[in-house]
Amino acid sequence: MKRVKGFNKARRLLTRENFWESFTTTPRLRAQIKQVFGEALSVQEVVDRIIGEVRYKGDNALFDYTEKLDGVRLDSLEVDRREVVAAYDIINKKVISALEFAARRIWDFHLACEYKTGLIPIDRHLGQQILPLQKVGLYVPGGSAAYPSTVLMMAIPAKVAGVEEIIMVSPPGKDGRIPAPTLVAADIAKVNRIFKLGGAQAIAALAFGTESIPRVDKICGPGNIFVTLAKKMVYGTVDIDGLKGPSEIIIVADEKTNPALCAADLLAQAEHDPLASVILITTSADLADQVDKEIEIQLGKLKRRSIIRKAIDAGMLVLVDDMAQAVELVNLFAPEHLSLMTSDASALVPKIRNAGCIFVGENSPVVLGDYVAGPSHVLPTGGSARFGSPLGVADFLKVSNIIALDKPAMRELSQAAVVIAKAEGLDAHAQAVALRVIATLSKTKRKQSRRSPSMRESEGKKLK
């Protein structure tokens, strides 16, 4: 890992560029694109072409791209119930039990989070109607790997919110199947329909719909650069949960922190992706040295060390003068995962403004948040923790404001509305209000004229 000494240097290095704008294709990826498409195209041009073809050719484009890009020729896109049932016999029973345990934790956490649905009155005339989305699409990475935890972390908050139909897409492996753990997790989380489909073509299908794939209201889930750019390009046609980039962790530590645990947590996040950001910020040069040594000791025992090595080599060991500098650097970088492993970890929490999830103390490793703690592990990345939040129940709800005025309330508000409308040069707006006021006044006068002189005289005495 790179050694960075001093706050000012660290500040320069931790000030982010836009990941999606700075992304560059490797020679290998460029060669693959040319092989598939017959010409040199940028990643954005590839995604644009795929979206266009799916939009206008429907299922035919999906079958075609699944064969070209995933190397699989499918007879049907949808996973039938028999495949899901068979998945339970394939995987270890301990895995099923662990997934069920995690599901209960995730369900309980999101059920306990405060949220309201239905008709919510604010006062006599104003309110809100809060309803769940009808259809949501979940993108689950797959192919050679299985991510059942991601299924649970997305589908369960949607179910708690009351989403009517959850559509899951995940790329098939070379055998034409979605990994069994992913199917079991989808069943535990009560996903309604599952499709063997990945890449930008899956995002396009969810956004626009095809003969087989229903059009959804929102798409959630992480993926590679093609998936993420596709989400960015269909936003507006459909809602998205954000643009999810490579995994990130900052560990804040002091001289009392266990270096072996620091190293283990950095390696765990580096395991996700060669582009993962792994950063230690500490006030102790001695701890930084020990963590560096521990990384090398532990790395040699890990299966995915070639991936981890790339992320670790690009990672940083940052030395600062005090915790105030450490906190400022954290808030600048706005990490997906923040692990506070100092002796006074709880005291630092109120000072953190920008982080997707804050893990407090050595007994709260990020890995437990990845799987079983309860909150969703779908978190803002790429610095979007400055304004974004973890995936939760609220992401699957939508709000309609309600205005239901009676005549007295309408008349009370009208004068100010007419003045503002005229100030904006919008005469039709002013007229729409004025006509209503005139109509209510006319009705009032007609009612008064129909009263007898004795009734009007009696009412006048009462007013006096």
Residue 456 pLDDT more than 60? no
Q: How far apart are CA 366 and CA 356, in angstroms?
A: 12
CA distances (Å), origin 137, targets 227, 390, 451: 13, 17, 64
pLDDT at 67 over 70: yes
Q: What is the DSSP string of 383-401?
A: TGGGT-----GGGGEEEEE
**Using an 8 Å Cβ cutoff, are 40 and 46 in contact?**
no
Q: Compute CA 398 distance to the chain's CA centroid, rounded to the nearest angstrom.
A: 15
DSSP 3-state of 425: coil
Strands 357-360 and 337-341: parallel
Instruction: Please report which confidence band the pLDDT of residue 462 belongs to, taking 50, 70 and 90 as the band edges.
Output: very low
Instruction: Look at 110 and 444; give whichever has higher pLDDT.
Output: 110
User: What does pTM read for this prediction?
Assistant: 0.90
Phi and psi angles of residue 263, each rounded to the nearest 5 degrees, phi first: -60, -45
CA atoms within 13 A on the CB side of 334: 18
Q: Rounded to whole angstroms, how far apart are CA atoms 94 and 22?
A: 43
pLDDT, mean of residues 79-103: 96
Gap between the Cα atoms of 373 and 67, Å rounded: 38
* CATH 3.40.50.1980 domain locations along the chain: 2-20+245-377, 81-244
Q: What is the pLDDT of residue 114?
A: 77
Give the pLDDT of residue 24. Answer: 74
The residue behind tokens 């007295």 is 408
Taking residues 206-230, what's their average pLDDT?
Answer: 96
CA 29 to chain CA centroid, nearest Å: 27
Average pLDDT over the chain, rounded to an integer: 92
In the chain, CATH 1.20.5.1300 covers 405-449
Closest CA to 357 of 247, 451, 255: 247
The DSSP annotation for 204-249 comes to HHHHH--SSSPP-SEEE----HHHHHHHHHHBTTBEES----S-EE
Q: b/e for 388-404, b at 16 or more Cβ within 10 A?
A: bebbbbbbbbbeeeeee
Q: Which residues contact 75 (CB under 8 A, 6 or more apart)?
A: none
The CA-atom distances, in angstroms, between 166 and each of 57, 115, 218, 396, 403 are 24, 20, 10, 11, 32
Residue 253 burial (C-beta neighbours within 10 Å; 0-12, 13-18, 19+)? buried
Q: Write down the architecture of domain 405-449 according to CATH.
A: Up-down Bundle (1.20)
- Predicted local distance difference test score (pLDDT) of residue 26: 82
- pLDDT tens profile 360-399: 999 999 999 999 999 999 999 999 999 999 999 999 999 9
Residue whose token pair is 């999606």: 20
d(CA 335, CA 355) in angstroms, rounded, equals 5
| Residue 463, pLDDT score | 31
DSSP track, 44-59? HHHHHHHHHHHHHHTH
- Specify the higher pLDDT residue, 146 or 93: 93
Which residues carry out catalysis?
336-337
Q: Which band of pLDDT confidence, cut at 50, 70 and 90, is reported for residue 459?
A: very low
Is 200 exposed, middle or buried, given 0-12, 13-18 or 19+ CB atoms closer than 10 A?
A: buried
CATH topology of domain 2-20+245-377: Rossmann fold (3.40.50)
Q: Residue for token digits 């609220």?
A: 394
- Fold classification of 81-244 is Rossmann fold (3.40.50)
Burial class (CB in 10 A: 0-12, 13-18, 19+), 379: buried
Q: Burial, 37: exposed, middle or buried (Cβ in 10 Å; 0-12, 13-18, 19+)?
A: middle
Condensed to tens digits (0 to 9), the pLDDT of residues 180-217 reads 999 999 999 999 999 999 999 999 999 999 999 999 99
pLDDT at 144: 60
pLDDT 10s digits, 261-317: 999 999 999 999 899 999 999 999 999 999 999 999 999 999 999 999 999 999 999
